[in-house]
Chain A
Amino acid sequence: QVTLRESGPALVKPTQTLTLTCTFSGFSLRTSGMCVSWIRQPPGKALEWLARIDWDDDKYYNTPLKTRLIISKDSSKNQVVLTMTNMDPVDTATYYCARTTGGQPGVPYFYYYMDVWGKGTTVTVSS
């Protein structure tokens, strides 16, 4: 059974750096074709894809947010970490991590999809 769980601070101050951890089980980031993505959702608003890290350590970032994001992995601990710098109240959201896969070998990276999601963690940015 594949599960993911997000953890991190519930409250951060403006200009601070947010660090979120995704701890997963049921799959390995050492397996070809396995990836983890981060997605966020401001209250009452739409989903926004943030970043993705692949089994081979390839990384992809939301282009407008690229300068603020860093994604990394510790495959031995089954964890993926997302850091977002210079937090602002508009970054208040529920942050999700999701297993991302192409479904079968040889699928191009842009055809990967988020097939299992964590429950999310709520982050509020306020002084």
Chain B
Amino acid sequence: QSVLTQPPSVSGAPGQRVTISCTGSTSNIGAGYDVYWYQQLPGTAPKLLINGNSSRPSGVPDRFSGSKSGTSASLAITGLQAEDEADYYCQSYDSSLSGPWVFGGGTKLTVL
């Protein structure tokens, strides 16, 4: 059971917008710690997608955006493309005995 809760799966048609939620608590996201998002394409290593809640590293398309509010964070993907089909993980710092750095359970994005 992950400290950060994500929906197991989301789906959308090409061109649509999807969002993936990441729900934490007052020992991680709610304490003000930043949220990071990673994309893991099938059979590959994770890749940093969003850092510092909403910043995109160089090379990440602006179709990907992140936000944070209270004890939750969200990843939004607009103009969905077939190559976006992947697993997505949120990550943050946790000050409880579960940490210090924790990941969400991951969300499988299916492009219909």
Contacts and interface: CB of A to CB of B under 8 A. Distances in A.
Interface string A107-127: 000110111111110000000
A49 interface: yes
A125 B104 CA distance: 25
Contacts of B45: 96, 117-120
Interface in A36-51: 37, 39, 46-49
Given A46-B103, A46-B106, A49-B102, A113 B97 contact: no
Nearest to B37: A113
A103 interface: yes
A111 B97 contact: no
Given A63-B98, A110-B33, A117 B47 contact: yes
A52 to B, nearest CB: 7
A64 interface: yes
Interface of B: 2, 33-34, 36, 38, 44-48, 51-52, 57, 89, 91, 93, 97-106
Contacts of B93: 110-111
B101 A115 contact: no
Given A113-B52, A114-B36, A115-B48, 7 more contacts: A47-B91, A60-B100, A63-B97, A96-B45, A110-B93, A115-B51, A117-B47
- Contact residue range for chain A? 20 to 34
Contact of B97 (A37, A46, A64): A64
Contacts of A114: 36, 38, 46, 48, 91
A115 B6 CA distance: 21
A62 B93 CA distance: 11
26 contacts: A46-B2, A46-B103, A46-B105, A47-B38, A47-B89, A49-B101, A60-B100, A60-B101, A63-B98, A63-B99, A64-B98, A110-B33, A110-B93, A111-B33, A111-B34, A111-B52, A111-B93, A113-B34, A113-B36, A113-B48, A113-B51, A114-B36, A115-B48, A115-B57, A116-B48, A118-B45
